[in-house]
Structure 1
């Protein structure tokens, strides 16, 4: 199927979503330096990631139903503006408390911009939503692919505050493009705004619940990796910042390859089958990751397991999201908010769980990722049981 929209429009939609992975990944290499200069330990800086994820989820809860009633374009412009201002303020941050507070504001505003994109994709691609999601995800993955490298380059040329200044400039650039070109193709819901009405519709659909849970647990597994990766690569395996960027890029490359594969096969095979393909691969890769870390094998063995695991989790998440959105054409904003809130809420839980299970080795993060994959398998068993009922 030929794409119903131009590459430039796909790139704009991907760029809006990319504000979140850029805000998450660009400062990962700077965490040790930030902890030193802000007079705290790295665990506090890592908690700023959990705070970001938590407030991103809270923002989606509010802005999802608003998108269905007020339109997607106004929220995108508001969110990008607030994200830019918060990023600028972060570049002048002086202590850990300011960092955490401003990251919360940055996440809250960023959620307003990104929550509208799946609904726009759903309106443009209709029954081929999974293909559209794969296109946008594949382009968007350039952000986490290059974000740590950009962060490392900024640290080499300047200071960690410049990372947030660069984020502010990025948001302003995308704001200008969105102001000029972003469409609002979905009709607005009539009647009085009721923030809970859309959520009632979403959760009342019993067959959607297993896929909502699938999306949540795939994100939990992903954020376990994302939260732990600075410790695993930099502190445990002692790689330098440049090597960290390359290793991180390898995993993002696996995600991009998975989305490319999905865009080519999903129309023919369907989202449910592609989801099961991803789950099977994730089970194998996650089990192998736990095994190699329990055996204390070297860095290369962990890298070889994580890359396919990331790609398979990407297959699972993309197709689960597409299945959900197809079930709610009139409430895509609320459905996206549910997906995003549970996704980033589960990501916020990853940090405390990793801290609670900390042993000084990569075993806890590998075990938690395996738990997430096993939970996905349970969700798909649940979906099959409902389909047969």
Structure 2
């Protein structure tokens, strides 16, 4: 580590980074089993309930652009603590909501606070680690963070059984409070703060987006999350309404998806010891295309077939995020907060688009998902083929001997 953490230590720092990185999946996945129930209890429609997801991601994405540059000026720790305070208050407001409009508004505020946590968490990783060590830490964090989607729906289904969907947001408020305590123990890692004004700090986003090397990789590696968010938005309706599974069985199917996906980063790390990273990424993108075809053609036959197609699709997308984010961050020597904000903003916006597209034909969700998976796989495969041999890619990818 480039900045020692006297209280947390190396293990505690990794635990801290895993916890604060788990905000996006935990905040969305915990209440997925309750989505069909919320349609009834709030006396609304599936489209309106889905807005609590899509609005969250849009607000979350905009919040990233707000907080990322500020973390370069004021430091990582103050921004994270402020964001956590907003998140806890918003989670309580979600729990107290008695109509869909109030819930959507509270989710918007929750997203704004949660975005500060996520953008700072990724910036801290670059503050503390370089090169291959950063890649290992990122892979470890991603693998462990996926535990959240495994546990969250199961916990959500349990809370739904003993209480109501309101309890899920009380649980998120408690999670935010625990994260706040860990943040208090964290030592600031930003060594050189931006000295310009607040307005100029937001202007650093333009500096980052004017880097053609960064933008070309951004166009490739921030599109695949569209398939993940499409599955996230459609999954509960496919399993519960489409296949007739209970909320508890849905949580198990969703946990299986996350369990398989959790192996993605470690599979990438092992393969990269002997196989060129460019080839690994190429194969994973092609696999996504192939799985899209299978999802469209046979995914509707049974929940088990659908599960065994959705899980590897999630795995390959998660696996490519390790080299993808690392490559993008290596294109920027400074402005880490702004670079992370742009990366995550584009990923979240792509995710929000995926959620919208998969819901355009609510009676044909599986076919919609298959089309999205195939289309995204084809697009990123073509774009990756165009840049994978460029110097700014080749020079920033460790050779096989560096991975051993």
> Which band: TM-score by shorter chain?
over 0.9
Aligned to 2:224: 218
Identify which of 293, 318, 324 aligns with 2:322. 318
1:173 is aligned to 178
- Is this contact kept in 2: 1:130–1:271, CA < 8 A? no
Which residue is 1:204 aligned to?
210
Q: How far apart are the structure 2 equivalents of 1:24 and 1:243?
A: 18
- Of residues 377-386 and 320-329 in structure 1, the stretch that sits farther from structure 2 once superposed is 377-386
Q: Structure 1 286/77 Cα, relative in aligned 2: closer, same or farther at 3 Å? A: same
1:267 Cα offset (Å): 6.4
Instruction: Structure 1: state its 5+ residue gaps.
Output: none
**Distance change in 2, residues 1:158/1:385 (3 Å):** same
What is the rounded CA distance, in whole Å, between the counterparts of 1:151 and 1:388 in structure 2? 44
Q: Is the 8 A contact 1:290 1:367 kept in 2?
A: yes
1:92 to 88, 91, 96: 96
Q: Point out where structure 2 has 5 or more consecutive residues left out of the alignment.
A: 394-404
| 2:156 counterpart residue number | 151
Given that 1:76 and 1:113 are in contact with CA atoms closer than 8 Å, whether structure 2 keeps it comes out as: yes
TM-score (norm 1): 0.93
Q: 1:199 to 1:382 in 2, by over 3 A?
A: farther
Question: 5 Å matches for 1:1-389?
Answer: 6-128=10-132, 129-193=134-198, 194-266=200-272, 271-293=277-299, 296-384=300-388, 387=391
Tell me the CA shift for residue 385 of structure 1.
Answer: 7.1
Q: Comparing both structures, which one devotes a greater share of its residues to helix? A: 1
2:294–2:370 CA contact under 8 A, matched in 1: no
Cα distance, 1:8–1:382 mapped onto 2, change above 3 Å: same
After superposition, the C-alpha distances for 1:102-123 in whole angstroms (9 at most, x for unaligned) are 0000001100111011111112
Counterpart Cα distance in 2 of 1:371 and 1:19? 28
1: distance between equivalents of 2:167 and 2:293? 40
1:174 alignment partner, SS class: helix
Shift of 1:140: 1.2
> What secondary structure is seen at the aligned counterpart in 2 of 1:189?
coil
3-state SS of 1:247 partner: helix
Change (3 A) 1:7 1:287: farther
- Give the deviation of 1:266 after TM superposition: 4.3
TM-score scaled to structure 2, two decimals?
A: 0.89
Give aligned pairs, total.
385
